[in-house]
Amino acid sequence: MSAPDKVTSAHLSRFAYLYVRQSSLHQVRENRESTARQYDLKRRAQALGWNTEQVVVIDEDLGLSGASGSERSGFQRLVAEVGLGRVGVVMGLEVSRLARSSTDWHRLLEICALADTLILDEDGIYDPSHFNDRLLLGLKGTMSEAELHVLRARLLGGQLNKARRGELWMNPPIGYVWDASQKLVLDPDQQIQGTVRLLFETFRRTGTALRVVRHFGTEKIGWPRRIVSGVHAGEIVFATLDHSRVLHILHNPRYTGAFVYGRTRQRKVVASGRVRHRRLPRAEWKVFIPNTHPGYITWEEYEANQAKLLVNAGGYGPDRRRSPAREGVALLQGLVVCGICGQRMTVRYHVSHGHPAPDYMCQRRGIETAQPICQRVPGAGLDQTVSQLVLEAMTPASLDVALQVFEELRARRAEVDRLRRAQVERAREEAGLAQRQYLLVRPEHRLVADSLERQWNEKLTAVQQAEEKYRRMSSVEGPDLSPEVREHIHALACDLPRVWNDPRTPARERKRMLRLLVEDVTLVRDRAIRIQLRWKGGATTSIEQPLPLGAPDLRRTPAAIIEQVRALATEQTDQQIARTLNARGLRTGTGQPFRRLTVRYLRTTHGIEGLGAHLRRAGWLTVTEIATQLQVHPQTAKRFGREGVLRAAHVDDKGDMLFEPPSGALPRAHPGKRFRDRRRYPQLAPHVRKGVQYAD
């Protein structure tokens, strides 16, 4: 069927849509002939019978790629109009102008076939509802997509080939510049170079990217940034350092002097249609050429930084066994591993005597399965035990560590001071440049002279502000340490146990010192707490610690005192036992002095017999029994016991007495004869009860 035969009155009654597209803005500016050819298709539509008012031009997608239709609003508008049956013909210079994706192209063909819409290109008119035309259009769409793939493969192949030789040009990271021979070298600006070195040194010292940002903010040190576009492209400005930039620099292996390519992989998210980049492991990098240019750090230090950042990323992954040191008082926070299930243990705090006390809990699996937690280990005594082990391990190397810390602090302060001076020098150089520009202008160019004079004044103001900031920060730090102060600090640093136990030492610093020696700590709670420390070198230390006492045990009288009460009960009454224990400096479980009722309660609770029971078992007699045997009145028998005529003893605090069975001649009453002449035993001490003395 010829082209005019395909165009019917139904097609002419609808609109003719002309779709104009170029792949990039460069093509829009340079390839103007192609754009003109696309607009010229309007005459083809008019020649086929469409009026000028019926021809609609869609050119809002100029400068956009045809690889996908999701970002092209003009193409989406075209598809919508075709689906509504308003379009009689869709015109494009070639298939590639409409779509370079088979998905978008075949979707358009399907809708055109359903809506009875024709397709016109430079070669002719096609009816998608006819098999032959649709077959030809499908082949053209496939070739268009294949052409895009070939072009992309050629570009990426050439790019990869240059990357394998280490010759691929890329924007240099901050701290590097390209020299005249296109070699990557360190930035000759000493301020920029020193700032980059300070970042790596601060991370080496602090161990976290957040503390690097905090250090730069506290010291008022700006981070250099290179403007990449606009009229000021290539210039360096100093701005505030943020956390994401620190992470980007720490993850960049080019600072080790290596050339790398292909560290990330693109992946299009189906839900949003956006492209995301996933960082690949070292083994999957396409190109890695070490030592191609000078580096700020070594490759070994880079790998150590990556391992440290991975440990700090406590929020990523369910299998994290470590976490960075935090501000809490729990010494083993982030290092404790459950010895039962192998999961990482977390920290929970409770208040004890007005102070926070840590508990190490293995609760991850219990939370996930709604079951009881694996184990809970009190941490107060545990932290003290581990602290003692660490101090014993640190003592031989304490002097070397203290000297290194002292030298590091001095070098760090000198580096910060040098960078501050560099900021002042840069401000002075900019002011000098503005002055020279002002002096070179001709006097008759008043407008230019006024502008340059204003810039010169602004630079002079910036110099004054930089100098004032330098003086203020230098005065805050104070002068250098005197020899006497250095000796004092040296003596203090040598005594690491004193520094460790100093209440002014932050808990976070103790944890960081602990992480220099200890890899992890495994805990198992059974009849005792089994502790296993794994040191950095791989050696292990295993110890046991008794379980902490519960609340009842903390108020319970110690067993050693109970045994003393048991021994004293064979010779003394409850009141006498209380006096004896108080004289020995002993106290009850609640810290109170002993009393008669306290001793009686202890005897009753622990089944300890009193003095009376012991003497009765030994055969001693009561007052009634001895009075019957002597054929005297009970009061006379008591007087015999008190005066020593008979051997007697007070058996309780009520004044009750027991008598030893008499041997030999029985004593009898002899009126008028004094007791001291008849005494055979020591006189019995008078019984005292409630301040009343009972005597004869």
- Would you name the residues annotated as active-site residues? 23
Task: Centre a 10 Å sphere on the Cβ of residue 453 and count the other Cβ atoms it contains.
Answer: 15
Q: What are phi and psi of 641, to 5 degrees?
A: -70, -40
Report the C-alpha gap between 512 and 308 in whole angstroms: 12
Provide the angle, in degrees to the nearest 10, between the axes of the packed helices 190-206 and 209-218: 130
- CB atoms < 10 A from the CB of 571, how many? 13
- Measured CA to CA, the distance from residue 364 to residue 166 in angstroms comes to 48
Strand partners, 357: 350
The SS3 of residue 508 is: helix
What are the backbone angles phi and psi of residue 33, rounded to the nearest 5°?
-65, -40
Pick from 26, 35, 152: nearest CA to 97: 35
Q: Identify the three-state secondary structure at position 688.
A: strand
Instruction: Name the region of 631 (left: φ>0; alpha: ψ -120 to 50; beta: rest).
Output: left
Q: What one-character DSSP code corresponds to residue 337?
A: E
Q: Is 581 helix (H, G, I), strand (E, B) or coil?
A: helix
Encode 363-380: b = buried (16+ Cβ within 10 Å), e = exposed.
Answer: bbebeeeeeeebbebbbe
Pairing of strands 55-58, 15-19: parallel
- Are the CB atoms for 140 and 118 separated by under 8 Å? no
> For 415-424, b where at least 16 C-beta lie within 10 A, e where not — what string?
bbeebbebbb
Distances (CA, A) of 623 to 35, 232, 537, 655, 669: 134, 117, 79, 11, 16
Rounded Cα–Cα distance for residues 248 and 305 (Å): 12
> At 140, which helix (H) or strand (E)?
helix 131-164
The phi, psi pair for 232, rounded to 5°, reads -105, 25
